[in-house]
Chains A and B, each alone.
Chain A
Amino acid sequence: DTEVTQTPKHLVMGMTNKKSLKCEQHMGHRAMYWYKQKAKKPPELMFVYSYEKLSINESVPSRFSPECPNSSLLNLHLHALQPEDSALYLCASSQVDSRPGEQYFGPGTRLTVT
């Protein structure tokens, strides 16, 4: 199984809502990533988890809260978002110990904040 799954595929939320994005992989990868991609821009790294611990936070606002409950799951909790947070949110995973680590991506969650 070389698949990374993400749910939901699409999400529309208001600025006062709380919602969560989910990502799952069963490849035994111990590194997982959240990226944000705005239209016509490259994916930008938000967070990296390594062995279920947050290892990189690219100065992301606290209205985005990542969580890695186990080695297969990665969540992104959303609260009090702004319309400019509307984007495609991509999850990826890779092996930690082999470099250069090939990342496997999910199809993304298209988020619209109204």
Chain B
Amino acid sequence: ILNVEQSPQSLHVQEGDSTNFTCSFPSSNFYALHWYRWETAKSPEALFVMTLNGDEKKKGRISATLNTKEGYSYLYIKGSQPEDSATYLCASVNTGNQFYFGTGTSLTVIP
């Protein structure tokens, strides 16, 4: 089983602040890295899928980067809004197409 770690576990930021969190994963047998956004009582929503070292993806104010050699991905949120409050989950996918999730970073944006 892969050990996927996310930090911090939780984060409180003021509206308008920019923030970022980390997902670290073993780099052996790596195939892809997924980021999900999970609001309470809703389904996890796919944000990004990245496969190549150096990949950068962007969706609105949210962006992500991938470093497969050192085994980490960053998720950035620019100008946080209250509606960004959610748990952000990453999952590392190995060459056997098995998903291993981190425990998530819980973000609260204070108006």
Chain A interface residues toward B at CB < 8 A: 3-4, 40-45, 56, 90, 99-108
Contact = CB atoms under 8 A, between A and B. Distances in A.
Interface stretch (B14-22, B37-45, B57-65, B69-77): B37-45
Contacts, number: 46
Contact of A42 (B32, B34, B103): B103
B98 A40 contact: no
Given A42-B4, A45-B98, A103 B103 contact: no
B43 A107 contact: yes
Nearest to B106: A40
Interface residues of B, number: 23
B46 A99 contact: no
B80 to A, nearest CB: 23
Contacts of B34: 100, 102-103
Interface of B: 4, 31-32, 34, 36, 41-46, 49, 51, 89, 93, 97-104
Nearest to A31: B97
Given A40-B103, A42-B103, A107 B42 contact: yes
B97 A99 contact: yes
Contacts of A45: 98-99
Nearest to B41: A107
A38 to B, nearest CB: 10
A101 B99 CA distance: 10
B43 A42 contact: no
